[in-house]
Chains A and B, each alone.
Chain A
Amino acid sequence: MAEAEDVKFKVTIDGIPVEVAPGTTILNAARQIGGDIVPPAMCYYSKLEGSGGKCRTCLVKVSKGSEKDPRPMPKLVASCRTTVMDGMEVQNITSPEVVEARKGVVEILLINHPLDCPICDQAGECKLQDLGYEHGSADTRYEFDRRTFEQIDLGDKIQLHMNRCILCYRCVYVANQLTDQRVHGILGRGDHSEISTYIENIIDNDFSGNVIDVCPVGALTDKTFRFKNRVWFTKPVDAHRDCPTCSGKVTLWYKGEEVIRVTARKDEFGEVEEFICNTCRFDQKKTSDWILDEPTEIDPQSVISANHYELFNPPKVVKENPILQQQNREQLARTEKLK
């Protein structure tokens, strides 16, 4: 058996070879390589079983099926749900066909999106914003009224903005896999299908708040954080507490001295590492409730890092190198001068 476990499949993604365990999806193989060749994923969530395959942003071209059967796959495939074969060759950003298809998907995801980022709480940490920024075009070719839905109330914790939803089904999987009773789901069909409860109901469960974290867009947001602040004015800090129901590992979002929001910790792909309970998320909003660990690592590309966080607390590599330290001081001086 030990030998069988060591079997590795060699996959080449955009010319970069990687060895992965059998059963890995193309997307996860690409994530092992990292960098620009990782296909974007709006609906796939590695922590949720059965997710993925719906948004079609992660489409890639399989130019060689496997070592045994080198025929290419006839259509673009969803990399999040296609498992690798030994010797498979995949083209992502090197294939014009994929880039074109992805542009189409992004355009199609945006035609009915309200584009109300200025008043959306998700702005700044929205996957659709990132996707549109990277792959979308500046104008729209859609000239009709955008689809709207009736507002429904999901209780005092979670705010649903159905107009912004891209129907990734993540929140449905969360409710199925984390909680003992799912009260919300998809109603209706086609482009008028919506996330809703039937019959109008509130979502109240120990782990219901996680739907906010998994939502890639601003469709499900935290009512206790609503309109409090823009995320790029807040400072995220990792913290933990001894919680009887969950791991208690969270990110606290500070505005000054005040904790204005608590979320689960997210990895570099924006996925929650460990789901947290509603007590941690909604009820523990004092610094004294938590043991602080360290400042959350934020991608330098992210707008959240725009509060010059690292200038006051330079990264480790800068601290160790006197030349970099000097440069950092000079740059800080220049920035201060500009103000």
Chain B
Amino acid sequence: MARKLLLTHIDVPGINTFEVYRQKGGYVAVEKVIKTMSPEDVVEEVKKSGLRGRGGAGFPTGMKWSFLAKPEGVPRYLVCNADESEPGTFKDRYLMTHIPHALIEGMIVSSFALGANTSYIYVRGEMMPQIRILERAIAEAKENGFLGKNILGSGYDLEIYVQPGGGAYICGEETALLESLEGKRGNPRIKPPFPAIAGLYNCPTVVNNVESIAATVPIINLGGEEYATIGVERSTGTKLISASGNIVKPGVYEIELGLPVEEFIYSDEYCGGIANGKRMKAVVAGGSSVPILPANLILKTAAGNSRLMTYESLSDGGFQTGTMLGSGGFIVFDEDQCVVRNTWNFARFYHHESCGQCSPCREGTGWMEKVLHKIESGHGSMSDIDLLWDVQRKIEGNTICPLGDAAAWPVAAAIRHFRDEFEWHILHPEESQTRNYGLAHYADPLQPIVS
């Protein structure tokens, strides 16, 4: 049984209430931090733990915290990014629904470390039940003296507010989130300045993912060094993975980073293999934004090593043969799934969610969607594949925020690895409407590298 840090007590009845959570060792981290540690110590522990941002980019959390500007007389803010809306990712919602106090406890620890007296949890608008749950949890924590004025008699004040968003994917981008939190249109800001210098209301701000904030609790309880022993290389600790698609047991799993991908998909402890005895065709390893990989490349790297669930191993080989851990939205496709249709579906999502601020993303995402729809519905021509490739190249890297990249990468990866499936769609327009291309050679062993 692998070690669990966040979801240890997830099966305990009533863990969403303060009493049960407290009985199971909750809020010990808050007591430890407030009574025995200084804010700098907490930052140091998080740095030692090697925790990397769980929202997608994987930036070291401790380093992000140490970048926070600390001018005199200016408030600092911690904002929790709970605007989880990446297709395939649902770990934060799970965490907030079932064990909301883990997030609240993490918020108190993190706010203390950053010296923030007001913190916000920006929750995606569609998650209304979770907003109610969090508000109740905050009220419970307040009743018990863990929030509000003079927490545990230490003189440290903290208020946490839950702010529902409007349900826009773009508001998960940190500067767009801050704009939205200020009550403006959720357009990403042009960086620099970064939020650590001028964020919410022009004050220094740290924006962290729900899971990153919750992970500070086990880091404080165990100590940073102990936490860093879990995992491999620079990928330390545990990670929540939202597994979905054609697997026997979809759901949220907490894994120790460093678990082989093959074990994660096929072992009974996790996904339990491909459903209905089918074979695996492809995997999107970290939410819709990351490149899709065919079965042979997701299980083994191009060099022939077994691929592990870590930031480094999944991105081994760059975008040519690798992908990214991203936000941990693990989508598995079996042999009956159509990659062209899936790519179109993703493109449709990004078209719908583009904020429309900068031109390559605003116009380009719609263009890609239309071309993909044309191919999928059997009206494509061979030049459309090259056109798609060209359009995604014009978007990638030329936009204000990473949404442009996130829209371009899945299209690029689908063409890179599944070009023959696109060509088959174009060459067999009628057949492609009635059946799928199937597994083809995507699960075949990799060709040995010719040096």
Q: Which residues of A contact B (CB under 8 A)?
A: 52-56, 59, 75-76, 78, 81, 101, 104-105, 107-109, 111-112, 141-142, 144, 147, 166-167, 169, 185-186, 188-193
Closest partner residue, chain B, to A141 (CB atom): B387
User: Which residue of the partner chain, among A53, A108, A144, contacts B360 with CB atoms under 8 Å?
Assistant: A108
Write the nearest CB–CB distance from B194 to chain A, whole angstroms: 14
State which of A81, A104, A108 has its C-beta within 8 Å of the C-beta of B190. A81
Which A residues touch B170, using CB under 8 A? 189
Q: Is B4 located at the chain interface by the 8 A CB criterion? A: no
Interface 1/0 per residue, B241-281 and A, CB below 8 Å: 00000000000000000000000000000000000000000
A167 x B356 contact (CB < 8 A): yes
Q: Is the Cβ of A191 less than 8 Å from the Cβ of B358?
A: no
**Contact A190–B365 (Cβ < 8 Å):** yes
The docked-state distance in angstroms from the alpha carbon of A57 to that of B374 is 29
Proximity string of chain B (394-408) to chain A, C-beta cutoff 8 Å, 1 when within and 0 when not: 100111100000000
Of residues 289 to 308 in B, which have CB atoms within 8 Å of A's CB atoms?
none
Contact of A56 among B353, B358, B366, B390 (CB under 8 A): B358
Most buried by B among A101, A166, A189: A189
Candidates A107, A147, A166, A191; contact of B365 at CB < 8 Å: A191
Minimum distance in angstroms from B117 CB to a CB of chain A: 29
B202 on the A face (CB < 8 A): no
CB atoms of A53 and B400 under 8 A apart: yes
- Whether A186 contacts B185 in the complex (CB less than 8 A), given A76-B397, A104-B360, comes out as yes
Interface contact A190-B367, CB-CB below 8 Å: no
- Contact at A191–B398, with CB atoms within 8 Å? no
Q: What are the 3 closest A-B residue pairs judged by CB atoms, nearest first?
A: A104-B394, A193-B356, A190-B354
10 A-B interface contacts by CB (under 8 A): A54-B400, A104-B394, A105-B360, A108-B367, A108-B394, A141-B387, A167-B356, A167-B357, A167-B359, A169-B357
Q: What 18 new A-B contacts, CB under 8 Å, besides A52-B190, A108-B367, A190-B354?
A: A54-B400, A56-B359, A56-B398, A75-B398, A76-B397, A81-B190, A101-B398, A108-B363, A141-B387, A147-B366, A167-B356, A167-B357, A167-B362, A169-B357, A189-B170, A189-B356, A191-B366, A193-B355
Q: Which of B356, B387, B394, B398 contacts A188 (CB 8 A)?
A: B356
A81 contact set on B, CB distance < 8 A: 190
Contacts of B360 in A (CB 8 A): 56, 104-105, 108
Q: Contact: B359 with A54, CB < 8 Å?
A: yes
CB distance from A103 to the nearest CB of B (A): 8
Interface presence of B370 (CB below 8 A): yes
Q: Is the interface of A mostly helix, strand, loop or mixed?
A: loop
Determine the chain B residues whose CB is within 8 A of the CB of A76 once the complex forms.
Answer: 397-398
Enumerate chain B residues within 8 angstroms of A56, measured Cβ to Cβ: 358-360, 398-399
Residues 374-391 of B at the A interface (beta carbon under 8 Å): 387, 390
A147 to B362, CA, bound (A): 12
Most buried by A among B168, B170, B360, B397: B360
- A111 touches which of B367, B390, B398, B399 (Cβ 8 Å): B367
Interface on chain B toward A: helix, strand, loop, or mixed SS?
helix
**B64: CB under 8 A from chain A?**
no
In the complex the two chains form, is A189's CB within 8 Å of B168's CB? yes
For B186, the closest partner residue in chain A by CB is: A189
Question: Does A53 contact B398, Cβ atoms closer than 8 Å?
Answer: no
Interface centre among B352, B356, B365 (most CB of A within 10 A): B356
What is the CA–CA distance of A103 and B354 in the complex, to the nearest angstrom?
A: 21
CB A218 to nearest CB in B, in angstroms, measures 17
A63–chain B nearest beta-carbon distance, Å: 16
List the B side residues contacting A147 at CB < 8 Å: 366
Q: Given A104-B398, A105-B394, is A53 in contact with B362 using a C-beta cutoff of 8 Å?
A: no
On whether the beta carbons of A190 and B398 are closer than 8 Å, the reply is no
- Whether the Cβ atoms of B366 and A190 lie closer than 8 Å is yes
Contact, CB under 8 Å: B356 / A190: yes
CB neighbours of A104 from chain B (8 A): 360, 390, 393-394, 398
Q: How far is the CB of B182 from chain A (nearest CB, A)?
A: 14
> In the complex, what's the smallest C-beta–C-beta distance from A19 to chain B, in angstroms?
23
Question: In B177-201, which residues have CB < 8 Å from any A CB?
Answer: 185, 190
Q: Does B93 contact A (CB under 8 A)?
A: no
Distance to closest chain B CB from A178 (angstroms):
19
Contact present for A190 and B358 (CB under 8 Å): no
A22 to chain B, nearest CB (A): 14
Q: Is the CB of B359 within 8 A of A166?
A: yes
CA distance A111 to B273 in the complex (A): 45
**Distance of B400 from chain A, by nearest CB (Å):** 6
- Say yes or no: B355 contacts A190, CB within 8 Å: yes
Report A-chain residues with C-beta under 8 Å of the C-beta of B354: 189-191
| B124 contacts A by Cβ under 8 Å | no
B358, A54: Cβ atoms closer than 8 Å: yes
The complex places the Cα of A186 from the Cα of B362 at a distance, in Å, of: 14
Q: How far is the CB of B386 from chain A (nearest CB, A)?
A: 10
Is the CB–CB distance between A191 and B168 below 8 Å?
no
Docked CA distance A108–B390 (Å): 11
